[in-house]
Amino acid sequence: MKRKIFVMSFILLSIFIFFKLYYTDNVYYNKEYYFEFEYPEKWKGKVSVDMDKEHGFTEIIFNYTGYKTPINTYQPFFSIIIVEKTDKYERHTLEKSYIIKENDKYIMTIFRDLGNALAKKEAIEEYRKLELSNDEIIKRIEFKNN
């Protein structure tokens, strides 16, 4: 009986450790495009992720949630835009983007909205401290399998 309790405890502890190490609060994992983005520690409690597929492409938006804009939305830190290569695909639509991956199916880019809709001075200051450069973003992206 003691052995069964020990084995079950060991298994449960192993599962807990695995999930704690792999699934942390600061990692976004995309199963469709097989990549992870690790948030900086300084973003903890200040980021949300939205996905939009309504404009003919996939947009994954990393939002600063410290303050809402005057129109009651969040200011994006950046977006990852995935454009499928189809007959409708036009490369010039990506001219404001920074290409991070391209294959025969799609192009993945970083898009940064240069406008800042935050109205409060302290929100703008915090946003600027939290903002990442394209190079910092790329260092935090890990592609899996694909």
- At 84, is the pLDDT very low, low, confident or very high (cuts 50, 70, 90)? confident
The mean pLDDT value of the chain amounts to: 80
Q: Look up residue 128 and give its two tokens.
A: 């600027």
Rounded to whole angstroms, how far apart are CA atoms 99 and 81? 9
Rounded to whole angstroms, how far apart are CA atoms 137 and 134? 5
Higher pLDDT, 141 or 71: 141
Query: Do 70 and 119 form a contact (C-beta atoms < 8 A)?
Result: yes
Q: How many CA atoms lie within 13 A of 15 on its CB side?
A: 6
Residue written as tokens 């097989």?
Answer: 34
Question: Which distant-in-sequence residues (6+ apart) come within 8 Å of 55 by Cβ?
Answer: none
Query: Do 46 and 66 form a contact (C-beta atoms < 8 A)?
Result: yes
Q: What is the mean pLDDT of residues 22-51?
A: 86
Rounded to whole angstroms, how far apart are CA atoms 4 and 127? 52
In single-letter form, the type of residue at position 55 comes to H
Answer yes or no: is pLDDT of 106 > 60. Answer: yes
- At 140, is the pLDDT very low, low, confident or very high (cuts 50, 70, 90)? very high
pLDDT of 17 = 44
Q: Look up residue 69 and give its two tokens.
A: 């804009």
Q: What is the mean pLDDT of residues 35-59?
A: 89
Percent of the chain surpassing pLDDT 70:
75
